[in-house]
Amino acid sequence: MLADHTVTALDSWRRLPADQQPAWPDTDALNGVVAELSSYPPLVFAGECDLLRERLARVARGEAFVLQGGDCAETLDAVGAEEVRDKIKTLLQMSAVLTYATSVPVVKIGRIAGQYAKPRSRNTEIRDGVELPVYRGDSVNGLEFTPEARTPDPERLKRVYHASAATLNLIRAFITGGYADLRQVHEWNRDFVASSPIGERYEDLARAIDDALTFLAACGADPREFHSAEFFSSHEALLLDYETALTRTDSRTNRAYDVSAHMIWIGERTRRLDGAHVEFASTVRNPIGVKLGPTTTADEALALIDRLDPEREPGRLTFITRMGRDKVRDVLPELVAKVTGSGAQVVWLCDPMHGNTFEASSGHKTRHFDDVLDEVRGFFEVHRALATHPGGIHIELTGDDVTECVGGGDRIGVGDLHQRYQTACDPRLNRYQSLDLAFQVAELYRARATPLRREPAPIATAA
Ligand SMILES: O=C[C@H](O)[C@H](O)COP(=O)(O)O
Ligand SMILES: C=C(OP(=O)(O)O)C(=O)O
Ligand SMILES: [Mn+2]
């Protein structure tokens, strides 16, 4: 179905400034790796990318909700079955909460199976007077603070390809092998319920889902309907050599697809209109996301639509806004109003993580659960006021019991951060905080349709 990679059409980005690319010490070595990757099989199929685009089109039309989540930075040593299962489990539990409470389909997209490259604020890091290149994700260099580990090594790109393939293989096995069967709602909670109020709240919901499934079965519904779920992969398309090497021309349509993931997104630091990342994304047919930070102007958003979604095709373009809790209510309304006014039908997601990062007194990079929730609340308020669709959330999370973000139902404090601070880059919500957030988002979604001001009902008078 997929023909050989044709270099020429896909290399138009090379003429343009490409921000955040590693300083690979040996260009020949990089080119050798790129040539090898270009001959590897696709990680996902073009038809699957099309399916996600159709699912996202429903979201753009206001008929479905997106849950996109996973690590800030995946690491090559965390591709075990347990790690992948626990992330999937967390996303499935969140999705069950959201689906049940919102009564709309939840499109599940992992930041997974390819999320290995990081844009950074600085090029170097100084520790005890020693200055080394900053960690840029496992596809570029190692986290360890040594000159050897921090030197970019293109061989890592091949390791990332294989790790992504292994992760996708596990995901496909879990999802189609019955693990995502809705009748497993209790199973996903098994190690959680006794110990926590959120686990208990989830268990109540799982019982309600069970009852609903029993009722449907009694009505004659086919239980196989609930056997598997749809799950899609995504990552930031940062390293353009890697993404180009994994781009193939689909022989059905003769269009190029980046077959490293179903959806790719452009980060806040690389979304410049005259830059290489926007150019690359414009040449592939996958659903595309763009992160929009607080300095984004409405004109920039409209120009991004012209570049990335010239045909105004619902599902093609997703704006992932990450304004910060203190700015979302001021900045987002104009963007949403002007984009909607232009007639474009984009998906709006809220990333409440990246605008709310701060350094705790302990020195840890962290986020407060209340700030995360407040940005989501602001996002819902803005969409409610404009009668537009709050399409979903984009979260950094893990299935592990980490202590990286403060607050939330289990009240992690700054003094607790050192206990299990395991992230390779940004602080993630742990499983408890993620489920907590899902319950709160579900409530916000349910309340979204309520008019802001209710006029008193007219009193009926007898004729
Ligand atoms: O994940 C996002 C960015 O890569 C990350 O927030 C950058 O962090 P830095 O400011 O520590 O470089
Ligand atoms: C780098 C990231 O975000 P942003 O581009 O929004 O800063 C990220 O999603 O990890
Ligand atoms: Mn991040």
Burial class (CB in 10 A: 0-12, 13-18, 19+), 453: exposed
Whether the CB of 322 sits within 6 Å of ligand 2: yes
- Best of 143, 425, 428 for a ligand 1 pocket test (most atoms within 8 Å of beta carbon): 425
Calculate the average pLDDT of the chain: 93
**455 pLDDT more than 90:** no
CA–CA gap between residue 246 and residue 267 (Å, rounded): 19
Burial 208-221 (b: 16+ CB within 10 A, else e): ebeeebeeeeeeee
**12 pLDDT more than 90:** yes
Confidence of residue 242 (pLDDT cuts 50, 70, 90): very high
Residue 295 covered by a domain: yes
Confidence of residue 460 (pLDDT cuts 50, 70, 90): very low
Structure confidence at residue 92 (pLDDT): 94
Residue 186 covered by a domain: no
Average pLDDT over residues 171-189: 89
Confidence of residue 181 (pLDDT cuts 50, 70, 90): confident
Confidence of residue 450 (pLDDT cuts 50, 70, 90): low
CATH number for the domain spanning 64: value is: 3.20.20.70
Q: Own/partner pairs for 450-455, CB < 8 Å, 24+ apart?
A: 452/384, 452/385
Which residue minimizes the CA distance to atom 5 of ligand 2? 267
Confidence of residue 453 (pLDDT cuts 50, 70, 90): very low
Whether the CB of 119 sits within 6 Å of ligand 2: yes
Structure confidence at residue 191 (pLDDT): 82
Residue 204 covered by a domain: no
Q: What is the pLDDT of residues 390-436, one digit of tens each?
A: 999 999 999 999 999 999 988 899 999 999 999 999 999 999 999 99
Residue 358 covered by a domain: yes
Average pLDDT over residues 72-96: 95
The DSSP result for 408-449, as a single string, is: TTTTB-GGGTTTT---SSS--B-HHHHHHHHHHHHHHHHHTT
CA–CA gap between residue 150 and residue 123 (Å, rounded): 11
Which residue minimizes the CA distance to atom 12 of ligand 1? 120
User: ∠ CA(253), CA(254), CA(260), 5° rounding?
Assistant: 95
Residue 197 covered by a domain: no
Structure confidence at residue 192 (pLDDT): 77
Structure confidence at residue 9 (pLDDT): 64
Helices and strands (H, E) in the chain, number of each type: 13, 15
273 C-alpha to ligand 2 centroid (Å): 17
Structure confidence at residue 264 (pLDDT): 99
Residue 302 near residue 249, CB atoms below 8 Å: no
Q: Find the domain containing 97 and state its range.
A: 2-180+228-447
Residue 458 covered by a domain: no
Average pLDDT over residues 439-462: 66
Whether the CB of 121 sits within 6 Å of ligand 1: yes
272 C-alpha to ligand 1 centroid (Å): 18
135 C-alpha to ligand 3 centroid (Å): 13
User: What's the whole-model pTM score?
Assistant: 0.94
- For the ranges 36-40, 115-119, 174-178, 258-262, the lowest mean pLDDT is seen at 174-178
Give the chain's radius of gyration (CA, Å).
22
Burial class (CB in 10 A: 0-12, 13-18, 19+), 177: exposed
Tokens found for residue 286: 């996958």
Structure confidence at residue 16 (pLDDT): 98
CA–CA gap between residue 207 and residue 199 (Å, rounded): 12
Confidence of residue 224 (pLDDT cuts 50, 70, 90): confident
Q: Which has the closest alpha carbon to 17: 342, 275, 298?
A: 275
Confidence of residue 193 (pLDDT cuts 50, 70, 90): low
Percentage of the chain lying above the pLDDT 70 cut: 94
**290 pLDDT more than 60:** yes
**461 pLDDT more than 60:** no
Residue 201 covered by a domain: no
Question: For the chain, first and last CA: distance in Å?
Answer: 72
Structure confidence at residue 365 (pLDDT): 98
Residue 303 covered by a domain: yes
Between these two residues, 287 and 463, which has the higher pLDDT value?
287
**3 pLDDT more than 80:** no
Which residue minimizes the CA distance to atom 7 of ligand 1? 120
Percentage of the chain lying above the pLDDT 90 cut: 83
Whether the CB of 119 sits within 6 Å of ligand 1: yes
Atom of ligand 2 nearest to the CA of 111: 9
Structure confidence at residue 114 (pLDDT): 98
User: Is 271 in a helix, a strand, or coil?
Assistant: coil
- Quick one: CA dihedral 177, 183, 189, 190, positive or negative? negative
Q: What is the pLDDT of residues 131-168, one digit of tens each?
A: 999 999 999 999 999 999 999 999 999 999 999 999 99
Q: What is the pLDDT of residues 331-388, one digit of tens each?
A: 999 999 999 999 999 999 999 999 999 999 999 999 999 999 999 999 999 999 999 9
- Best of 74, 121, 265 for a ligand 1 pocket test (most atoms within 8 Å of beta carbon): 121
- The domain tally of the chain equals 1
| Ligand sitting nearest the alpha carbon of 237 | 2
